[in-house]
Amino acid sequence: MTYQPPTRLQAAILDWAGTVVDFGSFAPTRIFVEAFASFDLALTLEEARGPMGVGKWAHIRALCDEPAVAERFQRRFGRAPTDDDVTLLYERFMPLQLEKVGEHSALIPGALEAIAALRERGLKIGSCSGYPRAVMNKVQALASAAGYQPDHVVASDEVPRGRPSPAQALANVIALRLDDVAACVKVDDTAPGLLEGRHAGMWTVALRFSGNTLGLSWERYQALARSERAAHRQRIDGELASCRPHYLIDTIAELPPIIDAINARLARGETPSAG
């Protein structure tokens, strides 16, 4: 048998918060701030956004490893934060997340139309998230009621290793019975999610404005002047450059033409590893 590279995309693997739902990715970040506050530990929204994209326990561990946060913990408790402390914070985070995730789970404008356009092109829709299954169940139900039903969902606690490992993306490949990772595109707003796609051997598309890198609500984003958007594009493109995304776009609404561009590259014999 001879290897034949794919000539068209078979699937898009979409992130959730900041990609399809929750413009600005506020649901997890604000709850991190509240969870830390319940232990009398200050945490800014900007600090909470830092490790976004990884699983939530790992996110809290990364926050506790930040020098400024570790120093606050040391002052408050007289010692460095341990994994047991991270687990206590996580156990406080989870019920808050389950209670309040619905407040920030509206579909991102243009998402339904873009996903419909992908399906018209014959793509299956996979998905994965930094949320654990308990939270994903609630997010999925809300999204379904709003009209979004992906073909498969992989939560962060359903694989041995979370992002930037390729495990969640590859679990979608298996579940959707896809022929080749080169026939998949991973769409995400965070560095760990983009690296997940790269590590899985997929095409990758970075979203600049709907997620964590900009961190603004839809209303505040809409109010930005053209010059402000241009400045943010330049900054965000620089921040994500080390992830080597194949494409960068503002929001998922701009995804369908990118699918056409990738299909054209596949038809020419190009693969994601070459880009």
220 lies in the same domain as 128:
yes
Three-state DSSP string of the chain:
CCCCCCCCCCEEEECCECCCECCCCHHHHHHHHHHHHCCCCCCCHHHHHCCECECHHHHHHHHHHCHHHHHHHHHHHCCCCCHHHHHHHHHHHHHHHHHHHHHHCCECCCHHHHHHHHHHCCCEEEEECCCCHHHHHHHHHHHHHCCCCCCCCECHHHCCCCCCCCHHHHHHHHHCCCCCHHHEEEEECCHHHHHHHHHCCCEEEEECCCCCCCCCCHHHHHCCCHHHHHHHHHHHHHHHHHHCCCEEECCHHHHHHHHHHHHHHHHCCCCHHHC
Active-site position among 15, 22, 188, 189? 15
56 given a catalytic annotation: yes
Q: Which tokens hold the place of 83?
A: 């994994």
Active-site position among 22, 56, 124, 186? 56
Query: Which domain CATH number covers 73?
Result: 1.10.150.240
Q: What is the pLDDT of residue 46?
A: 85
Is residue 272 within 8 A of residue 205, CB to CB? The reply is no
What does pLDDT average to over the chain? Answer: 94
Question: Which of 103, 132, 155 is the last residue in one of the domains?
Answer: 103
Q: Which domain holds residue 200?
A: 11-25+105-274
In a domain, 5, yes or no: no
144 lies in the same domain as 185:
yes
112 lies in the same domain as 213:
yes
Tell me the average pLDDT across 243-252: 98
In a domain, 2, yes or no: no
Tell me the average pLDDT across 25-30: 84
78 lies in the same domain as 111:
no
Question: Which of 103, 131, 148 is the last residue in one of the domains?
Answer: 103
**AA letter at 178:** L
When divided into structural domains, the chain yields a total of 2
- pLDDT above 70 covers a percentage of the chain that reads 100
Q: With bands split at pLDDT 50, 70 and 90, how would you rate the model's confidence at 102?
A: confident
124 given a catalytic annotation: no
113 lies in the same domain as 88:
no
Q: With bands split at pLDDT 50, 70 and 90, how would you rate the model's confidence at 16?
A: very high
17 lies in the same domain as 43:
no
| Segment 215-231, tens digit of pLDDT | 999 999 999 999 999 99
Query: Which domain CATH number covers 155?
Result: 3.40.50.1000
Q: With bands split at pLDDT 50, 70 and 90, how would you rate the model's confidence at 208?
A: very high
